[in-house]
Every structure is written in structure tokens, then in C-alpha cells.
Amino acid sequence: MVRYNRNNKLMMKLSDKTKAILKNFTEINQSLSFKKGKKIRTISPMQNILAEATIEEEIPSDFAIYDLPQFITTIDVLYKDPDIDITSEQYASIKEGKATRSKYFFSDPDVIISPPEKEMALPSEEVSFNLDENQVKKLIHSANILGLPDLSVIGEGGVVKVVTSDRRNDTSNDYTIVVGSTEHDFSFNFKMENIKLIKGSYQVSISKANLARFHNVAYNLTYFVALEPDSTYN
């Protein structure tokens, strides 16, 4: 929510949903350039993960935060329901009532790795399927519990399955969920360290051009994740 107070200062509150998205973004990139409008976007330093979300709030002007975890923690821990005044071009003034406030300085946007201006899109869609929240949770838990660094979407024998494993170990433990059917053979491979999904259900689409899209409807949030170069599609 954005509003002007009686002194014509631009005030903003961040909803719990937006704060959850921003916390998730810190796992992808510790810095963020906010752009005017309702969309926030980030990209990993290796540029193999891009995330974008449409939020409830209207960002009224561009500004950049270098230490996003610190900024969000300041809002969450030091305050209960603060107003964020971004009238200044140099800093945000975080306020709650008349007695408590923080001055938080913006960063030079040039020092932050930001997504390209052009909107991201899949060049093709070779396979699509849905993952519910419980399936996503179990895939992530299986990788953590069994120490599995890889996630693969495999098409073979007429079915599509999502598998966590260690592909470099022939005797690796694994965990498998069947998610659909297919007439094609393929192995689309990811590193688990690149799966930075916020909780929820996902619509997943994968291109043979080694790019995947994970869309979370509840958060209006989309991730584009690069596949490993040894992925195959026949």
C-alpha cells in the first residue's frame, strides 16, 4: 500500500506476502533494485536463476538496497507495522508512531547485479506438469535428508518423473515422484542449490533450450532456472 501523508511525503507499507517474497529473493541475491510499479525482479550472481513477482504494493520510485536481508530484518524485528518513507532519494525512513524511526540508506544501483530489462520467456515448452505443495516439500526434504545434490525431470517408459539423486554416484540413494505421462525420452537436470522455491504449488514448464519456468500462482511469482548442460531431449 502506498499513500501520501499530510506533509506530502510518500509512505509505503509492505504486506506479509511481499515480505515473504523478499525474504525468498535473499536466497537468490543479497541485493535488490526496486523499480517503479508493482513488479519486483531479481537474478542470481551467476545469472542462472531469475525470479519475478507482481506484488500488492505500488513501488512509487526506483531505489536500490545492497543488503536486502538486513533491510527486511530491520523492518520485521525492530518494528511491528512500520511506515516506510521513500521520499528521499538517499535513504528510506522507517517509522512507527512518533517515537521510533530508522534511517536506511539506499545503494548505488550500479553495484547491484540486476535482471535485464527485457521480459524473460521460455523459447519452447517440451514438458509441463504440476507439483503440489506437499510434493515440492518432499523433494526438497529428500535432497536434504539423503544429501542429494541433483534434481532431474526424466521422461522414460511413457511417464514423467521428478527424481532427486546424486548423478555422479552410481550407487546413490534417490527419491522419485511420478508427475505425468509422455511419448518422449528426456532428462532435464538441475542442481538442487538452484531450486530456491518459496513454499506452495507450482506449474512447471521446461524447454529443450535448457531453461525451466516454475510458477507459483498463490504468490504470483515465477522463477526461471537454467538446466545443467548435460540435459537431453529426444
How would DSSP label each residue in 24-55? HHTTT-S-EEE-SEEEEEEE-TTS-EEEEEEE
Q: Report CA 52 to chain centroid distance, whole Å.
A: 7
Contacts of residue 141, Cβ cutoff 8 Å, sequence gap at least 6: none
Distance CA 40, CA 42 (A): 7
* Sheet containing 150-156: order of strands: 175-181, 159-165, 150-156, 186-191, 232-233
Cβ(32)–Cβ(64) below 8 Å: yes
Local confidence pLDDT in tens for the 234 residues of the chain: 444 444 546 878 999 999 999 999 999 999 999 999 999 999 999 999 999 999 999 898 899 999 999 999 999 999 998 999 999 999 999 999 888 899 999 999 999 999 999 999 999 999 999 999 999 999 999 999 999 999 999 999 999 999 999 999 999 999 999 999 999 999 999 999 999 999 999 999 999 999 999 999 999 999 999 999 999 998
The verdict on domain 2-111 having CATH code 3.70.10.10 is: yes
Given this chain, do its domains 2-111 and 127-233 carry the same CATH topology?
yes
| Domain 127-233 top-level CATH class | alpha beta
10 Å CB burial of residue 168 (0-12, 13-18, 19+) is exposed
Domain boundaries along the sequence of the chain: 2-111, 127-233
